[in-house]
Amino acid sequence: MSAWELPTSLTIGDVGFAINTDFRTVLHVLSVFNDPEYEPDEQAAVCIRVMVRDWERLPAEGYREALEALTAFIDGPGVREDRPRPRTMDWEQDAPLLIPAINRVLGQEVRALPYLHWWTFLGAYMEIGECLFSTVVGIRQKRAKGKKLEKPEMEFLRENKAMVTLQRKLTAAEREQKDELRELFGLKR
């Protein structure tokens, strides 16, 4: 894949497959990968079935290659680092902060567009400058690395704890257990 082109297909084996490249499709797939209700093989199946247009033509032995190609597409063009990094953003939780920032970069309302290629959306995301989202991520990064927050950052965190704190997604069983404990101790939502 060339950074100078917007790919709309992938070659699996020696066969070309059209893929769904709209940013909403990729965000849906990312939400599945971030959902603890799905097992890894289910996540892979959803990714392939949602993104590869003629996925039925894909031979079973091509699934691993397809998933690797789709992952590379989702990562976008550029250098990939293999070392894990602390999680400092969530596409779903941060959507209210991300949308205005991406709109500002692109100069238009992205949700109103009938189609926007994932790489264009991702490029706009990478160009987000100083804004509420970058402030939140900056505080998350400092906390993840154990760095001391500046006084204004501590005040911002105190006043916006729910916005800054990344929520861990719970499985249905974990939510049920939590609700049972809340009821047992007489706590209200």
Same domain? 113 vs 27: no
For residues 162 and 27, what is the distance between their CA atoms, to the nearest angstrom? 22
Domain end (from 48, 75, 102): 75
Q: What is the pLDDT of residues 142-182, one digit of tens each?
A: 999 999 999 999 999 999 999 999 988 766 776 677 667 66
Give the amino acid at 17.
Answer: F
Domain end (from 75, 102, 117): 75
- Ramachandran category for residue 91: left, alpha or beta (phi over 0 → left; psi -120 to 50 → alpha): alpha
Intervals of the chain under pLDDT 70: 1, 79, 170-171, 174-175, 178-179, 181-182, 184-185, 188-189
Number of domains in the chain: 2
Is 75 in contact with 26 (CB distance < 8 Å)? no
The domain of 146 spans: 83-189
Same domain? 90 vs 126: yes
Alpha-helical runs (H) found in 18-171: 23-33, 40-51, 63-75, 95-106, 118-126, 132-144, 151-159, 161-164
Domain end (from 75, 108, 131): 75
Same domain? 43 vs 61: yes
Same domain? 139 vs 101: yes
Residue 151 lies in a domain: yes
Same domain? 153 vs 129: yes
Chain centre to alpha carbon of residue 38: 15
Residue 4 lies in a domain: no
